[in-house]
């Protein structure tokens, strides 16, 4: 199965319990759509390049998952319906992007 990176930006004004609940809901949604979670990077509250819904900050999460490509749109739609999710981006991970210098 191809590997994807699911980037999620949450509302920065959530307390610890609410943020943990949202992370559990996101994890359940990923598993429901057949994704196997390989890695989770929680960057916490970070300043964004531009405000999203008038907030200059966001709670940033990166999930590295393996899943079938046909479930991307449904997963993205389900996560965007959550009130505390500000942005969802799903990118296919490609090995050639990791190698910045080409070997000669």
Q: What digits encode the pLDDT tens for the residues 36-72?
A: 999 999 999 999 999 999 999 999 999 999 998 888 8
Per the domain annotation, does 97 fall within a domain?
Answer: no
Which is more confident, 99 or 36? 36
* CATH (domain of 72): 3.30.70.60
pTM greater than the 0.75 cutoff: yes
Per the domain annotation, does 93 fall within a domain?
Answer: no
- Structure token digits, residue 16: 């610890």
Per the domain annotation, does 49 fall within a domain?
Answer: yes
Per the domain annotation, does 12 fall within a domain?
Answer: yes
Structural domain harbouring 13: 3-55+66-86
Percent of the chain with pLDDT over 70: 90
| Domain count for the chain | 1
Alpha carbon separation from 23 to 12, 42, 98, 100, 103 (Å, rounded): 13, 10, 27, 32, 40
Mean pLDDT of 13-41: 94
Cα–Cα distance measured from residue 82 to residue 75, given in angstroms and rounded to the nearest whole number: 12
């Amino acid at each position: 199965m191809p590997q994807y990176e699911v980037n999620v930006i949450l509302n920065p004004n959530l307390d610890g319990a609410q943020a943990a609940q949202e992370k559990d809901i996101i994890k359940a949604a990923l598993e429901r759509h057949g994704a196997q979670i390989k890695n989770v990077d929680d960057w916490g509250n970070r300043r964004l390049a531009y405000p999203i819904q008038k907030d200059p900050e966001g709670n940033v999460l990166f999930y590295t998952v393996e899943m079938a490509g046909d479930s991307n749109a449904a997963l993205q739609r389900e996560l965007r319906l959550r009130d505390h999710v500000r942005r969802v981006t799903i990118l296919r991970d490609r090995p050639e992007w990791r190698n910045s210098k080409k070997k000669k």
